DNA sequence: CCGTTACGATTACATTTGTAATTCTAACAT
DNA sequence: ATGTTAGAATTACAAATGTAATCGTAACGG
């Protein structure tokens, strides 16, 4: 029953604003986005409309304009796209790729402590190795 | 000078095969992919041609068929898409999202040890907190 | 009440992507 | 040399995506 909610990169920009503000109007979104990307107001309106159409946002009329609110939670949506990514790459390479990401991003001390805890627990049941699953069937000699 | 190499999900399936086999023919790719997805041979040929066009694969004629080889490294390409993802989400939420991923995926003991090492080094210079950067400019009150 | 006007809704259109059928051409067999 | 044929190239086409102009309508001001 996983929502197949597909949010495109352009739409994602809009969602971030709505997620952060909790509720907002199209005007506010347009103003904020103009500091970041070069989109015409009509473009943002289109994105808002598509997001409403796909059930990511709700609108309620408020006088002349509409109030937009997220219908999907930010964290679970982020988790979903992250899962999609890590499920689409070679299973053998997941660890290496994660390591690269951890190396690149900014993490708070609390973030790091939590990751350390998660890893510690994971180590107990971790397999010796993780096989490449890129070529299904056959026991092809994997180059990895 | 980052390659703006865009590989679509369908193309990615093809790349995984070529990356794993190192070099191969269209026939081999078609056969292998048929165990996984329901694509006609012509579809795979199209994807191969597009990948050659965008510089992800090379071909050299070998008798009647062509040999396909990757022109881009698998790990660096995976790193790039992972970076793209984590750069596109709220910076404040990166740690939480990474934690979710680590929790979900399968990691080898070696993978985990390496991550632990990376985290340990990172902790030394880690900031207390990471601010949400979803709404540029203003000091908007962030809900996160 | 009625005209403005600020919004959302409708329409538009090029590009990319997924999916494939058809055509062309060069390799191999004779 | 020549016909077959396997495989690449060309062409096709609908859906999704990025980007936007214009149209219609309801809300507010007078």
Q: Which residue is nearest to nucleotide C26 (CA to C1')?
A: B64
Q: How confident is the model at residue A64 (pLDDT cuts 50, 70, 90)?
A: confident
As a whole number of angstroms, the distance between CA B18 and CA A86 comes to: 19
Q: Quick check: B99 and A115 CB within 8 A? A: yes
User: pLDDT category, A2, cuts 50, 70, 90?
Assistant: very low
A4 contact B CB<8A: no
pLDDT mean over A15-19: 96
| Alpha-carbon span B122 to A29, nearest angstrom | 35
pLDDT of residue A5: 85
Q: Are B128 and A109 in contact (CB < 8 Å)?
A: yes
**Nearest residue in B to A73, CA atom:** B144
Buried b (16+ CB within 10 A) or exposed e, B52-74: eebebbebeeeeeebebebebeb
The mean of the pLDDT values for chain A is 92
Say what the pLDDT of residue A139 is: 55
Q: How far apart are CA B75 and CA A96, in angstroms?
A: 8
List pLDDT tens digits, range A105-135. 999 999 999 999 999 999 999 999 999 988 8
Position with higher pLDDT, B97 vs B3: B97
What are the structure tokens assigned to B86, written together? 């984590």
pLDDT of residue B1: 44
Residue A136: what pLDDT? 79
Provide the pLDDT confidence category of residue B135 given band limits of 50, 70 and 90.
Answer: confident
Q: What is the mean pLDDT of chain B?
A: 92
**With contact defined as beta carbons under 8 Å apart, do A47 and A14 qualify?**
yes
**Which residues make beta-bridge pairs with A1?**
none
Q: Cα dist. A48→A7, A10, A38, A45, B87 in Å?
A: 11, 10, 16, 5, 22
SS3 annotation, chain A: CCCCCCCCHHHHHHHHHHHHHCCEEHHHHHHHHHCCCCCCHHHHHHHHHHHHHCCCEEEEEECCEEEEEECCCHHHHHHHHHHHHHHHCCHHHHHHHHHHHHHHCCCCHHHHHHHHHHHHHHHHHCCCCCCCCCCCCCCCCCCC
pLDDT single digits (tens) B82-123: 999 999 999 999 999 999 999 999 999 999 999 999 999 999
Across the interface, do A32 and B137 touch by the CB < 8 Å criterion?
yes
**How does pLDDT run across B4-24, given as a tens digit for each residue?**
689 999 999 999 999 999 999
Residue A96 has pLDDT above 90, yes or no: yes
Residue B138 has pLDDT above 80, yes or no: no
Q: For residue A75, which residues of chain B lie inside 8 Å, CB to CB?
A: 93, 96-97, 100
Top-ranked range on mean pLDDT: pick from A135-144, B15-24, B131-140: B15-24
How far apart CA A76 and CA B12 sit, in angstroms, is 25
Q: How far is B134 from chain A (nearest CA, A)?
A: 6
Statement: the CB of B61 is under 7 Å from strand C: yes
Cβ of residue A25 near strand C, that is under 7 Å? yes
CA of A65 to C1' of C10 (A): 18
Going along chain A from its start, the domains and CATH numbers come out as 9-70 (1.10.10.10)
Closest nucleotide relative to residue B68's CA, C1' based: D8
Extended beta strands in chain A, E state? 24-25, 57-62, 65-70
pLDDT of A62: 87
């Amino acid at each position: 029953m996983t929502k197949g909610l597909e949010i495109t990169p352009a739409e994602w920009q809009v969602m971030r604003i709505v997620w952060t503000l909790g509720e907002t109007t199209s005007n506010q979104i347009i103003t904020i986005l103009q500091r970041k990307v070069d989109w015409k107001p009509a473009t943002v309106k289109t994105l808002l409309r598509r997001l409403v159409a796909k059930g990511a946002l709700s609108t309620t009329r408020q006088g002349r304009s509409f109030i937009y609110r997220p219908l999907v939670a930010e964290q679970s949506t982020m988790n979903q796209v992250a899962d999609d990514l890590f499920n689409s790459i070679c299973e053998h390479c997941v660890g290496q790729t994660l390591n690269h990401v951890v190396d690149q991003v900014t993490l708070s001390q609390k973030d790091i402590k939590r990751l350390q805890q998660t890893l510690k627990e994971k180590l107990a049941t971790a397999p010796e190795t993780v096989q490449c699953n890129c070529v299904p069937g056959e026991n092809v000699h994997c180059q990895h």
